[in-house]
Amino acid sequence: MVNLTRLVLLRHGRTEWNHTDRMQGQHDVHLDDVGIEQAHAAARTLGKRDFRAVYSSDLARARVTAETVAKDLDLPVVVDPRLQEIHMGSWSGKTRAEVEAEFPDFARLYWEGKDFRRSPEGETIAEMVERAMPALTEIIQRHEGHDVLVVGHGFMLSQIAQHLVGIRAESRILGGLSNAHWTELGIAADGNAWIIGHNVAPQ
């Protein structure tokens, strides 16, 4: 298809907080040893692609994953803080069990996919999408007709993918992204978008 843009949304490798099931949000947690190897595994697969550019959240777990893949592509990483994960507020650093114990009513809404503010300093899903979508729109327009890689965070990337294809946030129909897995979308010149693959693993 003429002017088809292929957008690959890659989640960062594993962190210690992923391993212990702690919510990270915008807390800057680094990759653990497994996460570093996962980033290299993603690079071995995605490094064979003809990407025009690589973009990343500025949080270390995403940035280091992006740099690992970009090295194989011989491309720089363009860092954009708008690509950060949803702000979890006072939930950040807590396990799922701790959140359920301390905030049972809000936790139920979260697991049901409902949109709400995580805490006074946190974000809603709508606010996260409003923050991140301008960055994605700029990237898509800048690289129309080419392949482009965006490295970020599981919840944010899944919500952005749903938004691009017109699926409402609360449905969570796509489910999450595993560490160092990705969603690939095709985007036509008229803006029509579709999912080529979701939660794709390195080969």
202 and 17 in contact (C-beta within 8 Å)?
no
Span between the terminal Cα atoms of the chain, in Å? 26
Q: For residue 195, name the pLDDT band (cuts at 50, 70, 90).
A: very high
Task: For residue 16, say whether it is annotated as part of any ligand binding site.
Answer: yes
Nearest Cα neighbor of 10 from 177, 138, 186 is: 177
Q: Is 85 marked active-site?
A: yes
Model confidence pLDDT, tens digit, residues 36-59: 999 999 999 999 999 999 999 999
Task: For residue 15, say whether it is annotated as part of any ligand binding site.
Answer: yes
Give the mean pLDDT of 131-142. Answer: 98
Which among 12, 87, 181, 198 is annotated as catalytic?
Answer: 12
* DSSP H or E run through 184: strand 182-187
Nearest Cα neighbor of 62 from 145, 178, 152 is: 152
pLDDT of residue 1: 56
pLDDT of residue 176: 86
Name the pairing type of β-strands 182-187 and 147-152: unpaired
Q: Is 184 marked active-site?
A: no
Range with the poorest average pLDDT among 99-113, 166-180, 184-198? 99-113
Task: For residue 184, say whether it is annotated as part of any ligand binding site.
Answer: no
This prediction has a pTM of: 0.94
CB within 8 Å of 158: residues ≥ 6 apart: 172, 174, 175, 176, 177, 183
Nearest Cα neighbor of 29 from 78, 75, 54, 65 is: 65
Model confidence pLDDT, tens digit, residues 87-130: 988 889 999 889 889 888 877 777 777 777 766 678 988 999 99
Task: For residue 30, say whether it is annotated as part of any ligand binding site.
Answer: no
Nearest Cα neighbor of 35 from 163, 153, 173, 155 is: 153
Domain assignments of the chain as residue spans, ordered by start: 5-200
Name the pairing type of β-strands 193-200 and 77-79: unpaired
* Amino acid in the structure at residue 44: R
pLDDT of residue 118: 66
* Amino acid in the structure at residue 34: V
For tokens 């690289």, name the residue.
143
Task: For residue 18, say whether it is annotated as part of any ligand binding site.
Answer: yes
CB within 8 Å of 131: residues ≥ 6 apart: 82, 123
Which among 40, 85, 181, 184 is annotated as catalytic?
Answer: 85
CATH top-level class of 5-200: alpha beta
* DSSP H or E run through 36: helix 33-46
